[in-house]
């Protein structure tokens, strides 16, 4: 995986690859978050919506969970908040 990320570093999809590989998100979860879902200190990313495609039409859908979103990766909750790996946000 490190070799792949090194070669992908110069592509426009680098952050998509980092999110998917290091955080374990599914494709829709990887493409769903907005900048507002990223904590200001870049310590966590809230996965509260996903990109969903059906019959050729893409739309954002809310997480299936009824729980409130959690903002801390150590807080138990139904929304996934994977911790960000240090040094991966374009550094």
Q: Establish if 90 belongs to a structural domain.
A: no
pLDDT tens-digit profile of 7-58?
Answer: 999 999 998 888 888 778 888 888 888 888 887 787 777 888 889 999 999 9
Q: Establish if 43 belongs to a structural domain.
A: yes
Asked if pLDDT for residue 91 goes beyond 60, the answer is no
pLDDT tens-digit profile of 59-88?
Answer: 999 876 543 343 344 433 444 555 555 555
Q: Establish if 71 belongs to a structural domain.
A: no
Q: Establish if 39 belongs to a structural domain.
A: yes
- pLDDT at res. 88: 52
| Nearest Cα residue to 82 out of 40, 37, 52 | 37
- pLDDT at res. 71: 38
Q: Establish if 15 belongs to a structural domain.
A: no
Q: Establish if 86 belongs to a structural domain.
A: no
For the entire predicted model, the pTM comes to: 0.58
Task: Please give the residue range of the domain that contains residue 32.
Answer: 26-62
Dist CA 34 CA 31 (whole Å): 9
The domain tally of the chain equals 1
Q: Establish if 87 belongs to a structural domain.
A: no
| Cβ pair 60, 49 in contact under 8 A | yes
Burial 63-76 (b: 16+ CB within 10 A, else e): beeeeebbeebeee
Q: Establish if 1 belongs to a structural domain.
A: no
- pLDDT at res. 33: 85
Q: What's 89's DSSP letter?
A: S
């Amino acid at each position: 995986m490190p070799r792949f990320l090194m070669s992908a570093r110069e592509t426009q999809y680098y952050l998509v690859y980092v999110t998917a590989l290091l955080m374990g998100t599914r494709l829709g979860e990887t493409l769903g978050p907005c900048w507002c879902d990223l904590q200001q200190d870049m310590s966590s990313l809230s996965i509260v919506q996903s990109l969903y495609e059906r019959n050729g039409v893409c739309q954002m859908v809310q997480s299936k969970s009824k729980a409130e979103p959690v903002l801390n990766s150590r807080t138990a909750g139904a929304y996934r908040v994977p911790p960000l790996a240090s040094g991966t946000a374009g550094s």
